[in-house]
Structure 1
Amino acid sequence: MPLRGIVPPLVTPLLDNDTLDVAGLERLIEHVISGGVHALFLLGTTGEFASLSYKIREDLIRLSCQFAKGRVPVLVGISDSAFTESLNLARKAALYGADAVVITPPYYFSSGQPELLEYLKRTMVQMPLPLFVYNMPVHTKVMFAPETVRAAADIPGIIGIKDSSANLAYFNQVQYLLKHRPDFTFMVGPEEITAEFVMMGGHGGVNGGANMFPKLYVDLYNAAAAHDLPKVMALRDKVLQISTSIYNVGQFGSSYLKGLKCALSVMGICNDFMAEPFHRFNEPERKIIQEALEKIDYKSLL
């Protein structure tokens, strides 16, 4: 510790609402590992976890650990509105060989910061694996405040945080409060700020685009860690081109996920079926994604 580098939040390849695209999942895992990623993160936002049945979640954990073959650490999202279900997922993750689990604040009911800290303490009493906290306020409507993160770092078994707030002021506050804990992993979600985050002392990125172009994001991380600013600027431009062209088709709230899955389908990696309530892009949008990939010259990034 700390875990460093690029950790793709793996998409969940599906054939229908309750069936994994198993061949696609294996291709995807081989694709990202061969691109040099440092770990895998299952059942995050990009993995559509909240739309998946527990059967699908368990199948995904089992098969992903099997396909990873111990080559990189496997992190498993166990976020749920029900405490018992989070623990059940954690036990399945431990059973199938995952290395750590990741949890957001419980969603639906709004928790105060003292309640969140109590929740983490109670969780860790029964947790079979090390745990990362996941700050995702846009979806959970609750955030782990900087002081709560500092206190959580003192709970045995909590080993890091993934922050998807896209707030560099938040990063600075948390980093300052954790300066006595260089072993505590601090990673960022939004790929648009990953380079700046790493150059400011962050440990890496949990970047959705690494599903498509793992080597690009690994190269960006390495350049940022080395403070190679000219290389950072060149690679960051490519990341921003991907972000603005692939993730914004149709201007839906779901455009990021639809665009990412559609791109993976165009690239021949996995199926682009979306779990309800969303549907995959239709042919007009798919054509836009295909043209965007060609404009990016995506084959040169593989």
Structure 2
Amino acid sequence: MLKIEDLKGVMPPIVTPVDAQENVDEQGLKNVIDYVLDGGVHGVFVLGSNGEFYALDFENQKKAVEITVNHVNGRVPVFAGASAITTKECIKLAQMAEEAGADALTVLTPMFIKPNEKELYNHFEAIAKSTKLPVLLYNNPDKTTNNISVSLLEKLAKIDNIVGIKNTSFDFAQTIEYIRVTKDIPNFKVLSGSDYLIYGTLAYGGAGCVAGTANVAPKLVVEIYDKYMAGDYEGAMEAQYKLIPLRNAYSYGSFPVVMKDCMNLIGVKVGDPVKPIEHCTEEKLEELKKILRDLDLIK
């Protein structure tokens, strides 16, 4: 179980390698975990949006969580995604993750439907009450079209086992407000979900980041955090700027293929994206290689 002081640093939402039948590839997933742990990350988040959670049925989600928990083996906390459209399905996933030994849950706002604030509050409250695990809320309004407002977050942060929020939004003012309204709650942390805003979130008092680029360049993302925490603000800023071209490359293909393609290019074989998503074009793969060469990730 996650201790609040361990909710910090860099957590990659790890990509999920799949086989030809689009089922979880156990060895591939272990290789991804080894790669990011070697990069010094502070936690591992399985079944995030970069992990194509939406493409995996319950059995495959369960398999991904179990493999991750067993392979990480207590070295860092494991956050398991428990995200779905309905409250009932999220509770089922939450209880599965708890049983599998995850340290915490990460729960996205529902997608496709448009709950009001009261409905969203009741949704997250019911999930939190269904498990002993700490819950990290996950705001990603671009993808789900639902947004956790600042006033809603103030209410949710009072629920005992809701311990933080990851904001994957380009609305940086909202992240700052999240931090401001929760700064007196000792058991609540705010993390950046946008890889452009890691340094900025730390500067305002955030606790770290859930960064998709940390799949590919874990050492560089960890460098932003470590240097910032050591007071080397210039070094941290430099590392943040160095990361931007990799984050800009998200537009080279349909989300979330780009991090998978980068992993394949650097030699961590993760296979194909789940259809209908397809690999980047040859032309874009060449551009990705240039970015990866500039980061010394390939020769």
TM-score of Structure 1 vs Structure 2, range by shorter chain: over 0.9
Correspondences of 1:24-35 after superposition (within 5 Å): 24-35=28-39
User: In the alignment, which of 38, 41, 49 is matched to residue 53 of structure 2?
Assistant: 49
What is the alpha-carbon distance in structure 2 between the residues aligned to residue 82 and residue 276 of structure 1? Answer: 23
CA distance in 2, matches of 1:85, 1:226: 42
Match of 1:264 in 2: 263
What is the match of residue 40 of structure 1? 44
Are 1:247 and 2:250 an aligned pair? yes
Does residue 280 of structure 1 match 2:279?
Answer: yes
- The offset of 1:299, in angstroms, is 4.8
- Quote the Cα distance in structure 2 between the aligned partners of 1:130 and 1:182: 14
Write the distance in 1 (CA, Å) between the matches of 2:47 and 2:210.
12
**Who is 1:130 aligned against?**
134
The 8 Å contact of residues 16 and 275 in structure 1, kept in 2 or not, is answered as no
Q: CA deviation at 1:240?
A: 1.1
Q: 229, 234, 241: which is aligned to 1:230? A: 234
Cα distance per residue 1:194-228 (max 9 Å; x no partner): 01110111100101111112111111111223342
Identity %: 28
Q: Is the 8 A contact 1:17 1:275 kept in 2?
A: no
Match for residue 218 of structure 1 among 222, 232, 235 = 222
Question: 1:167, 1:227 → 2: CA distance?
Answer: 26
> Structure 2: which 5+ residue stretches go unaligned?
none
Match of 1:69 among 73, 78, 87: 73
Q: Give the TM-score normalised by structure 2.
A: 0.93
| Contact residue 166 and residue 189 of structure 1 kept, 8 A | no
Shift of 1:253: 4.4
Task: Please name the residue that 2:122 is paired with.
Answer: 118
Aligned amino acid, residue 124 of structure 2: L
Count of paired positions:
295
Distance 1:179 1:185 in 2: 8
| Distance across 2 between alignment mates of 1:47 and 1:7 | 13
**Is the partner of 2:196 in helix, strand or coil?**
helix
Specify the SS of the correspondent of 1:133. Answer: strand
| In 1, Cα distance between equivalents of 2:20 and 2:81 | 21
Q: Tell me which of 179, 183, 186 is aligned to 1:182.
A: 186
1:180/1:258 Cα in 2 relative to 1: closer, same or farther (>3 Å)? same
Q: Which has the higher contact order (CA 8 A, sep 6+)?
A: 1
Counterpart CA distance in 1 for 2:254 and 2:266 is 23
Counting only pairs closer than 5 Å after superposition, residues 18-29 of structure 1 correspond to structure 2 as 18-29=22-33
Q: Does 1:144 align with 2:118?
A: no
**1:298 partner amino acid:** L
Task: Please identify, of 68-77 and 80-89, the stretch whose mean Cα deviation from structure 2 is larger.
Answer: 80-89
| C-alpha distance in structure 1 between counterparts of 2:139 and 2:185, whole Å | 19
Q: CA RMSD in A?
A: 1.7
3-state secondary structure, aligned to 1:191: coil
> Could you tell me the TM-score, scaled by structure 1's length?
0.92
Residues 254 and 277 of structure 2 are in contact (CA less than 8 Å); yes or no, is this contact kept in structure 1?
Answer: no
Deviation track 1:17-48 (CA, whole Å, cap 9, x = no partner) reads: 53222222111101111211111111111111
User: Any idea what the Cα deviations from partners look like across 1:154-179, whole Å, max 9, x if unmatched?
Assistant: 11211111111122210121112112
> Structure 2: how far apart are the matches of 1:226 and 1:113?
39
Q: Which letter maps to 1:51?
A: A
Structure 2: how far apart are the matches of 1:160 and 1:16?
37
Which of structure 1's runs of 4+ aligned residues deviate more than 6 A? Answer: none
List gaps (5 residues or longer) in structure 1: none
Q: In the TM superposition, what is the alpha-carbon distance from 1:97 to its structure 2 partner?
A: 0.9
Q: Distance in 2 between matches of 1:6 and 1:152?
A: 23
Q: 2:84 aligns with which of 60, 80, 85?
A: 80
Do 1:90 and 1:128's aligned partners in 2 also have CA atoms closer than 8 Å?
Answer: no
Q: Residues 98 and 131 of structure 2 are in contact (CA less than 8 Å); yes or no, is this contact kept in structure 1?
A: no
1:83 deviates by: 2.0
Quick check: 2:82–2:91 contact (8 Å CA) kept in 1?
Answer: yes
* 1:16 alignment partner, one of 20, 27, 30: 20
